[in-house]
């Protein structure tokens, strides 16, 4: 999916600073990961994680509309890697 298409589907509240942030859904996390062009393992390494288990868990709940457990700091870096800017500024 193209960046513009992903932006149209994202809840604007998940692109805000930490104080106003709402956690993205698992589907939103999956879409943004897709924009990075990285595998789960590559992304885990870039985020300083031991393995890709957390990356899988952030996007793999039963329902893609379920809220993801991704922490704000990891989401902010993921958005940056995907070319969505620095959401924490």
- At 44-89, the pLDDT tens digits run 999 999 999 999 999 886 677 889 999 999 999 999 999 999 999 8
Q: How many domains does one find in the chain?
A: 1
CA-derived radius of gyration, the chain = 12
Checking if the pLDDT of 43 tops 80, the result is yes
Helix, strand, coil abundance in the chain, percent, nearest 5: 55, 0, 45
Q: 63 is in which domain, residue-wise?
A: 3-81
* pLDDT score recorded for residue 62: 66
For residue 86, being part of any structural domain is answered with no
For residue 54, being part of any structural domain is answered with yes
For residue 88, being part of any structural domain is answered with no
Q: What is the pTM of this model?
A: 0.92
Under a CB-based contact definition with an 8 Å cutoff, are residues 10 and 65 in contact?
no
For residue 87, being part of any structural domain is answered with no
* pLDDT score recorded for residue 39: 95
Tokens of 46: 């870039």
Checking if the pLDDT of 1 tops 90, the result is no
Q: Is 67 helix (H, G, I), strand (E, B) or coil?
A: strand
* pLDDT score recorded for residue 47: 96
* pLDDT score recorded for residue 64: 74
């Amino acid at each position: 999916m193209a960046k513009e298409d992903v932006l149209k589907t994202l809840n604007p509240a998940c692109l805000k600073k930490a104080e106003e942030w709402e956690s993205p859904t698992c589907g939103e996390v999956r879409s943004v990961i897709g924009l990075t062009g990285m595998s789960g393992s590559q992304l885990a390494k870039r985020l300083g994680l031991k393995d890709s288990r957390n990356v899988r868990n952030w996007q793999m709940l039963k329902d893609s509309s379920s809220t993801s457990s991704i922490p704000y700091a990891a989401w902010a870096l993921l958005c940056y890697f995907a070319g969505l800017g620095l959401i924490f500024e």
